[in-house]
Amino acid sequence: MCNENRMPLIGEKAPSFVAETTQGPINFPEDFKGKWVIFFSHPADFTPVCTTEFMTFAAMQPEFEKLNCKLLGLSIDSTYSHIAWLRTIKEKIQYKGMKDIEVNFPVISDLTMEVSKAFGMLQPAASSTQAVRAVFIMDPKAVVRAILYYPLSNGRNMDEVKRLLIAMQHSDEHGIATPANWQIGDDVIVPPPGSCGTAKDRVEKPAADTKVLDWFMVLKKCPHGAN
């Protein structure tokens, strides 16, 4: 059952739910076991900003699939409305060189607003009947790892969503952190030392593959792995 009292926070298990989608019924998180999930809401079908977002996500879907990540959309519209809108996108809309774009990731029909409320996608000061542009990134254990919110009027940057996903996968796999504006190939950050002795050793006896800027600021080459 969805919890309508509060949205899930980073580090918490995402709410479970069953929903109707454009790809048939889904059971979350059971149907997504072992996968990262990018779950995003949009205000309404047949709206221009949402159209550009869905086209971009759909065009990038193979890139996310390579990262072991599934896409999952939602709005407070019916499945029939979703289908009609997605058919229109494929048949009529051209944008930034994209055309004949088929959206084949699931789009949830949330007419009861149950899922939207469970994930805090409804913000009454913005709209009581439309979900804002929320993005939840969940890891293969259905734990919320990142939350992004955009206003109704402004589209999301899907390249940033992908960059963040890759950064988190690198952090999980290699036990590192990533600096501001990090991209694949850039140096990564070695986590700060947990003791005075370790801090001293890092400065006085630095590892060959590290760049020591100070005891708390140590960089090293980007490890291979998620990409």
- Could you confirm whether 196 is annotated as catalytic? no
CA torsion, ordered 117, 123, 128, 132, to nearest 10 deg: -90
- The string of DSSP letters for 34-103 reads TSEEEEEE-S-SS-HHHHHHHHHHHHHHHHHHHTTEEEEEEESS-HHHHHHHHHHHHHH--BTTB-S---
Ligand-binding site membership of 133 (annotated)? yes
Q: How are beta strands 210-214 and 107-109 bridged, if at all?
A: unpaired
Q: How many residues in total does the chain contain?
A: 227
Sign of the CA dihedral with 140 first, then 141, 145, and 149 last: positive
| Dihedral of the alpha carbons of 85, 87, 90, 94, in degrees to the nearest 10 | -40
Select which of 50, 69, 196, 222 is catalytic.
50
Residues facing residue 188 across a β-bridge: 220
Q: Which residues are annotated as a binding site for substrate?
A: 133
What is the set of active-site residues?
A: 50
Q: Which residues are annotated as a binding site?
A: 133
